[in-house]
Amino acid sequence: MAEEVVDVRPAVPSDAAKLLQLLKHLSHESNTFTADEGLGAISEQEERQQIEQITRTTTNMIFVAVLDQRLIGVGTVQATEGLVVTEGEIGVAVLKEFWGMGLGAALVEELINWAQDFSTLKRLVLTVQLRNGRAISLYEHLGFEKSTPKPYDVLDPTGEKVPAIDMVLPV
């Protein structure tokens, strides 16, 4: 039997419907992943347009993990607000059935490579819940450093306050 291969690649406009479906699934599956509040109101056409716009910037990016035409993971860089954008916030999520297979690491590595080779960003930042020890270990392994002196509370998707930290990686 041939081994199945997961492709990690930039999102394209034709991924819009599958990406929306993935994000909705992830928002219900994990208490460490928070999707944008307006996700349910975005149409497939609007998502197509967002993907097209994002791929034209040097400060935003979406990568997807694909197995047999099924989207199973997503990694994003979103520019922080300001007149001169130098930071991009990372977000990564993988379907639970594929946890522990290195897909989160592959997505983050692609985001880092993109930021170093193609973006105009100076650093990548992220917020991670302390209860997500595997993610913290991954980020540290990839060179991220804790940037908050002590944990602070964030709301998880269920509305529960949980301690989190910020991490940063110069690119």
Residue 47 falls inside a structural domain: yes
| DSSP at 80 | P
Residues 98 and 73: beta-carbon distance below 8 Å:
yes
Under the banding of pLDDT at 50, 70 and 90, the label for residue 125 is very high
Angle at 150 between CA 148 and CA 156, to 5 degrees: 85
Residues 25-72 pLDDT 10s = 998 887 776 666 666 678 999 999 999 999 899 999 999 999 999 999
pLDDT of res. 1? 37
Domain-located, residue 1: no
According to the model, what pLDDT value does residue 33 have? 67
Structural domain includes residue 19: yes
Q: Could you count the other beta carbons within 10 Å of the beta carbon of residue 34?
A: 17
Task: Identify whether 2 is part of a domain.
Answer: no
- Sign, CA dihedral 91-29-105-162, equals positive
d(CA 47, CA 49): 5
Owning domain of residue 79: 7-170
Which of 31-40, 102-111, 142-151, 153-162 is the least confident region?
31-40
Q: What is the CATH number of the domain that holds 126?
A: 3.40.630.30
Number of domains in the chain: 1
- Residue 41 placed within a domain: yes
